[in-house]
Chain A
Amino acid sequence: MRRLREYGSYAIGFASLFLLWHVAAVYLVQSALFPPPGSVIARAVALFRDGTLVANVAISLQRILTGFVCGSLLGIPIGLAMGSFAPIRRILDPYTEFLRFIPAVAMITVAVIWFGIGETSKLFLIIYATVFVVVLNTAAGVASIARNKIRAAQALGATRFQIFCHVALPATVPYILTGMRLAMTNSFVTIVAAELVAANNGLGKMLWDARLYMLVDDIFVALLVLGCREHMICPLPRASEMSAFAGRRATAIVNQGGDDGARRGRPGAGHEDPRGHHASVGWSHHLVAGGRYPGPRSAQCAALARPLRSRGARRAL
């Protein structure tokens, strides 16, 4: 019953969207440049029937998926290494801090010059759009592992390698998935832009051609398809769905060029920090019995991770 009501309200939401569009197009704008949903859907059906729509969507998706998978496979180990070992982080920080602020869209220029308008340039661009987001989220995830998780494992007799496999990695998975999800969004932006500028096929190319020949319906079909991508392909679970895996929710920590509240902090100068459960330099640093506590910067990570935990039912004993 509740399900039915949920789906019912969704349906009303979607219907109202199309209704508004229809009213705006037919009664308010009344221009050939803004087609009503009816004619756009009719055009979409026609393009679907003759195969061009499917072909264009397929090629764009294929580019995104290849680049996305390659970028993630590259980004996850780098992120894990950066989060785990401070020297590696210091060495790679300049790269990520510099390159991640150059939008992948801006890199289309050099990509086309270097690799032409074929698949290689698309692959390069999607990897570029993916890798930094994944790296930064993975590293932030590793860095925000609670120190006590590592210490507990040590006191239970786990080796360094075991701690990595059985504690650091699973604790980071929600962050990795969040990074991948953000990367997927970036990839869509990038591929459309890349295909607009230089490509022989794909959704972006379809948009550009339609503009060239003033096929307004075709433009709207492409836009409609782009708008529906969330519902068409969902290879990555949403953050809320990850709670099943981790027993808690993960947040988007770092987006490319965006605010990164949980930047891997530098070790601070705190004296004694007995309640500093979260450390900021990476799990491997918790292994070392050193004379310096991780500093108060860790509070940022804690603030992010805290309310996400302990959402479970609070039952009395």
Chain B
Amino acid sequence: MSSRPSSHGTPPLVVLRGVEKTFSSRQGADYVAVRGFYLELARGEFFCLLGTSGCGKTTILNMIAGFEKPTAGVMELEGKPIAGPGRDRSVVFQGDDSLYDWLTALENVEFGLRMRGVPKTTRREQAHHYLDLVGLTGQEAKHPSELSGGMKQRIQIARVLANEPKMLLMDEPFAALDAQTRAVMQEELRKIWQATGTSVLFITHDIDEAISLATRLGVMYAGPASRLKEVVDVELEGARNRTDDRFLGYYRRVYGMIREEVEVARRRERPDGPR
């Protein structure tokens, strides 16, 4: 199976075997989002999940996060079935609506620690540390509404890092940012990942972003009843240069895979449309 992690020996962090998710609808016709989905994620790896819109990427992430239950199949974290959301898997959402508007940046970051009853001085210290890490020093006392889109995503990232999860689940976290900000955020995320060693599952439909970040990436078939089409090991070391030949080689390869799926999705949407 091509979805084996590249690092052998240690047991995988997350295992998905034959996962299926069906959404029931009131109109009667159920919608199968994913079916027969297999994936193993190793400790410390940065996995990017790519696919056309509506292919079920977010569904996979939501199931690993525990927000959704699969209708069939096995989902395990460190060998134990995933039963619901937990602080070992923190989620960074696409929009900024997951931030708490009534709290300052600092209070947002220490939210998880506060829920756990960590004493105030300790959690303040930790929150400051992670705000520094994401480059938000000096913005502690501001409310999310006073910060830019990029800064808000930084708060989200600091908030989940402060909780020290085993795994970061990121659902197109930079999709709403402008191109420059996005590039900066990608670079910083990679640095943070290298510094913390946390495993990351990153969802995107931006091929460039996936190759810039991932140690491994997976492309999904177009929905419905989607599953993994192919998994690619991204063997680029150090800072990734978008104009590098090997980078472009990966780009061409992944672009080809996605292009086919876009065509499939388009034909499914408009069966009589131009071929």
Contacts and interface: CB of A to CB of B under 8 A. Distances in A.
Interface of A: 146, 148-149, 151-159, 162, 166-167, 170-171, 173, 245-248, 268-272, 274-275, 277-278, 289-293, 309-317
B115 interface: yes
B27 to A, nearest CB: 5
Say which size band chain B's interface belongs to: 35 or more
A272 B91 CA distance: 19
17 contacts: A155-B169, A156-B115, A158-B112, A166-B114, A247-B143, A248-B101, A248-B145, A269-B25, A269-B26, A271-B23, A274-B54, A289-B67, A289-B84, A291-B71, A292-B24, A309-B96, A309-B101
Contacts of B59: 272, 274
A310 B148 CA distance: 9
Interface of B: 21-27, 31, 33, 54, 56, 58-59, 65-69, 71, 84-87, 89-91, 93-102, 111-112, 114-116, 143-151, 156, 159-160, 163, 169, 180-181, 184-185
4 closest cross-chain pairs (CB), A and B: A157-B87, A269-B26, A156-B112, A148-B98
Given A146-B98, A155-B86, 12 more contacts: A149-B97, A152-B98, A154-B84, A171-B100, A269-B26, A272-B23, A274-B59, A290-B69, A291-B22, A309-B96, A312-B143, A316-B148
Nearest to A167: B100
Contacts of A173: 102
Given A155-B86, A289-B68, A312-B146, A170 B31 contact: no
> Interface SS of chain A: helix, strand, loop or mixed?
loop
A228 B144 CA distance: 37
B160 A156 contact: yes
Contact of B69 (A154, A289, A309, A315): A289
B23 A246 contact: no
Contact of A271 (B31, B150, B160): B31
Nearest to B89: A155
Nearest to A313: B146
Nearest to B114: A166
A248 B150 CA distance: 19
A161 to B, nearest CB: 10
A150 to B, nearest CB: 9
Contact of B151 (A148, A153, A268, A315): A315
A312 B147 contact: yes
B146 to A, nearest CB: 4
Nearest to B91: A155
Contacts of A272: 23, 31, 33, 54, 56, 58-59
Contact of B101 (A154, A246, A269, A289): A246
Given A155-B87, A316-B181, A310 B151 contact: no
Contacts of B31: 271-272
Given A247-B145, A272-B33, A289-B66, A152 B93 contact: yes
